[in-house]
Every structure is written in C-alpha cells, then in structure tokens.
Structure 1
Amino acid sequence: MEANERDIYDVTIIGGGPAGMYAAFYSGMRAMRTKLIEAKEELGGFMRTYPEKMIWDVGAVGPVRCEKMIEILEEQARTFDPTIVLGQEMAHVNRQEDGIFELTSKTGERHYTRTILLCAGRGMTQVQKLDIEGANRYELTNLHYTITSLARFKDKRVLISGGGDSAVDWANEIAKLAKQVIVVHRRNEFSAHEQPVEQMKATATIMTPYRIFRLHGAGDQLESITLEHAETGELVRIEADEVVVNHGFDRDFGALLNWGLAKEDYGLTVDQRMRTNISGIFGAGDFITYGSKVRLIAGAFNDAVLAVNSAKLYLDPAASDMAGVSSHNERFNEKNKKITQEQMK
C-alpha cells in the first residue's frame, strides 16, 4: 500500500478499559489524532464483569456503581472525537520502512499508526468455573459467577466462595440485603484489601479453610452444598438459596505477547515513563508492570497520562512534557463557552 493511501493516526490505543478510555481523552488534550480499538463489542474492559459494584476509590467521584463509572468514562473518552473501533482483536504488528506501524486484526483489518499504546487490561478474561460434576446444571438458576442484579439476594441465605477482592466486595454488598451471607475460602487468610475484609468478618459467617466439594439440588435448582475442610478432610453440608463463585479469571492476551515485548509474570515490562522495550510502543493499566505499579482504576489513569505524554514526546521531542491543565488548556475553550452558555439559559 502506498504511503498516501494509508490513514495514519498519531496514536492507536489497544484496549477499551479505564486506561484505554482515559488515554483516548488525554491524547485529545494533547491534540493527537487518536484511534481506540477494543476486541469486544463494548467499552469498559474488565469493569463489565461487576456492573453492580459500588466504586469508592476514584478521586472526586463516588460512591458510584461501576456501570455508571463506565458510562462517565466513555463519555469523557469521546470528548475530542477519537475514532473508536469495536469487535477487532489485534493479531500482528509490523513496523514499515518509514517507521509507521501496521496493525492487523484477526479478521484482516489493517490500521496504521505512528505510536501504539497497549491498554489490554486483564485481556480476554474467562471466568474460572467450578470443576465439580453437575455444576453447569445450576448456572441458569442460582449458581452465579457474575452478578448483574443485587435485588435477587434480598432476604436469602447466600454462600460466596472465594478470598479475593471480588468475593469480599460482593459479600459486603450482598450482606446489606440478604438474610445471611456465608463466605467460604480454602485458606485462612484472605487476599483482599484489609478494610473490606474486616467489614466482611463483622457481617458474614466465615468458613475457612473450606472448599466446595459437592453440590446438591432438585432439577436445575441448587439447594445445598457439601464443604470439605482443606486440612482435615471433614465434610460439612449447608443449605443455601443462592451461591456466588469468585475464583478468579483465566487471562488471554491473544497474540499481543508474541510481538517481542519484554514481560514479567504479571504484565508487560515498562519503565517509569510507560515505555516498552520496543521504541514507539507504550503501555498503561493492568496490562503492564513496573516498580511502583498501583493496580487500581485511579492508577490506570495515571499510567495513561504518562504513556500519552511519552508518545507525544516520541513524535515531537520539542513538545511540552505534559498537556496544559484543563482549566487553562486551549483545547477546551469552545467547549467551556458552550457549557457556560447552556448554564446561563
């Protein structure tokens, strides 16, 4: 393809979670021509797995349900009208002779860009289901791997299996309206943050170290669960109206890890300016790791700012180190006038 036939962007963001969406906004502040590509058919990334959860730890926002947070982030991401492509998973990258990257999707679409920002989050996640005979029989009734409505747990006896942040957060949310919450974990210690764990212990019945051993039900309705003590093998059978399983997710990053990028056990290796080992490719969010990495939504925003600034300097070494703050950034002049006029009506 001739150079003048390519539609070339300054930055192409791969991944539409919080890091990718904020990067799309911030690159607009830096007057960069931006494209965002998401493998799924909607933006939000891993946040889509817990739409009902309340988010408290994003500065100046909250408490807010996750589905609302996604809505706010998407609206912000579209501020400067980036090109957004959904339903395309990237397979190959090739740096052409003139330094332009050619990205090719699994279905053959091609994208051209001067820089790449990888915001793949936790990848194409797949929930870890119970490896117990007959478990799939109850998945359409009262065995849950994700929660889309808290109302169904009102006045019910709910068993939650898991020890991470998701399990503990759901226990605390469900405890507000359930008759009883029983939390089962195969270890004595929980890996979730300390304060939510203390809150859970004050409101839920804790059974550790136990794991789900067998399920009992009538037809497609789960009625009781046999638990096995992880150390003694003792079996205990308890009744439950609803069962929630949070055993984590299998992560699949597709072909991204085959691009020659340096990586560690948890994510791509970047430096403190979000630069990968390949010149012109940067990273942000849960997909990356570095010494002081913070795995929070708020941390993803900071990563995105650093990565976009590095991409801008890569394209124009004479550019300022960062965008002007929004209160003085000329990119907002017309938008501020419009908002002011609407408020005065």
Structure 2
Amino acid sequence: MELELRHLRMVLAIAEAGSVTKAAASLGLAQPALTTQLQRIERMLGGALFTRDRRGVLPTPLGDLVLARARVLIPAVTGLHDEASELITAGGTARYRVGATNGPIVAGLVRRLTDAHPGGPVSIHSTWSENEVAQMTVDGRLDYALVGACSTPPAGLPTGLIWQVVSVDAVWVLLNERHPLAGRDEVGLGELAGEQWITAPGDGCFLECFAAACAREGFSPRTPTSIDASSAFDLVVAGGAIALCQGLVRSVPGAVAVPLRGAPLRWRHLLGWDPDGPAAARASELYGYAVEAYLEIVTQRPRYARWLIGHSDLGVQQAISLLPKPSRPGLAGRSDPMIA
C-alpha cells in the first residue's frame, strides 16, 4: 500500500476537526473505518501522527511534517485537475474518466465506451477501494464511479454523488471441486460454519454484512482473509479455503461456484456521478453501456442465468426517475433476469 492523496485528505480532516469522530462525520465515513485508515497510514509512515488526550487529538512532530506537505500538495493537485478540466472543456471534447473497483462488467463498459468514442479521452482508474473511487469522483478527478456495494447508496462513502443501481446479484460460494458440498444445487450458510473464508479486498461494509448473515444462521464465522482474485482462485483450487464470490464469477478449473440458500448476501453494481457536474449530461449513456456489459456477462454464465429465472428481484434493476433517458432505448428499464 502506498501513500495517496486521499490519505493526506484524511489526515488533514482529522487535524482540522481535532477529533477522529468529527473528521469521520465530515468525510461521510464511519468512525471505525477512519480509525483503521489512520492506523494504516501511520504504519506506512512509520510512526504515530497524532496524540490523544481529553481535548481530542494533537499532531506529533511527524504529523506536523505530513500536514505541512498535505497543505501544499492537495491544493496543487486540485488546481492541476481544474486546469486540465478547463482545457478539455475549452476544446469541446467530452471526456470519460471512469473509476472502477474490480467487477465483471468493467471491461465491457470500457470497450463499449471506446467503440462509441474512437480517439476520444476515455480512461479507466482501477482500484480495490470504493472510497478512493468515490472521493476522486466527488473531487472532480474522475467523471464516473463504478463500484460494488451491499446497499444503495453505498455505506460509508463520501456524500455528493448520485448512485444508480445497474444490477443486484446474489453472493455465492466458491468451493474446491472435491469439497463435500460442491455437487449440491445450493448450500445453507450454516453448513459452512467451520470453513476458512476468503474474499476480495474492499473498504465497504461487506464483512459486517457477512457476519450479520452468519449470526442469523446461529454461528460466528472465522474472519475472512482479504486476497486478490487471482490468488483467491489458486487458494480455493488448492483446497486451502472457500471464497465468497459474485454469482457472475467466471469458471475456474478445479473450483465450483454454488448458490447460498435463500440468497442471504447480495451485491450491487452501482454507477455514481456528480449531479451538478458536466458528467451528469452523459450519465444515461454510461448507464446503458453498463447494463449492456452486464447482460453480456450473464449470457456467458449459463448456470447463473438459469438460476436467475427463479429470482425475479435480482438482475438488472429499474432506473431511477432522476436518470435521463438512456441512449439505447429500453435498456434502463429492463428488469427481466431472463435476459441477464
């Protein structure tokens, strides 16, 4: 993990608020989430940035150094983005800067966008952090955020964006093909109580939602290990763990994805943008491409497509009324998972 501008913003917010709790509220984050981020930043820099007493927090000498640099770097980078934005706007060229967390529809969305705007300024910023993507969109450094989350709007992310649900999907479990439950049509979450879990990294509320779902089944799970997708597949195939995954997960030799009975966990693909920014005028185009990309992926996952037939509340979702009419008629309003 490397120090990023968003980390400096967090440190500055804590210093200005004089309290982690107050800073978390101003950033639209839960206090534990900001505390965890601060601890990560301090580990990266090799020391504590703040001391704490009855009056709140005070910067250490290392904290003073970081704050001094942050007060120079943040305005400089913000000014650079503003000037670049003005230059592009003056040239009359629409830009498409998309930030995305890992998900199956990202590639299809970008491919459709670049096909529709050959030679145009289309760029993708990929990261595991939903918070990073959302903050960059709020700051104007990105035009659109494509993230995954348990809820709408996503919990714990910066405020100021409109979020449109592209799809709602069930969370399945990825098992080694020799696992005793691998041949089942579905498994109950409680049947997996003793397993070692792995999941993709993220800074949203998924782990809390997972723990709550397990509690409803009467057990407390081992804390899942966050690991990148490629390593997760390798670990499952080796028989070292089972993975929480999207129902849209690709086929992997040696592993089998199995539905969880009752779909106790659900995952949303969300497109976000600033309703007051220039990107809002083109949000319907992006939404249409995102839906097309999702539908394409589902046709490539026949087992999940068949499973969706009996779960009419899942799949592509009805667009909210705030969204302009999509560039490809009919896509935004589709909610029939048979097509997905």
TM-score higher than 0.5 here?
no
Task: Flag the structure with higher helix content.
Answer: 2
Task: Report the TM-score, using the length of structure 1 for normalisation.
Answer: 0.27
Task: Report the TM-score, using the length of structure 2 for normalisation.
Answer: 0.27
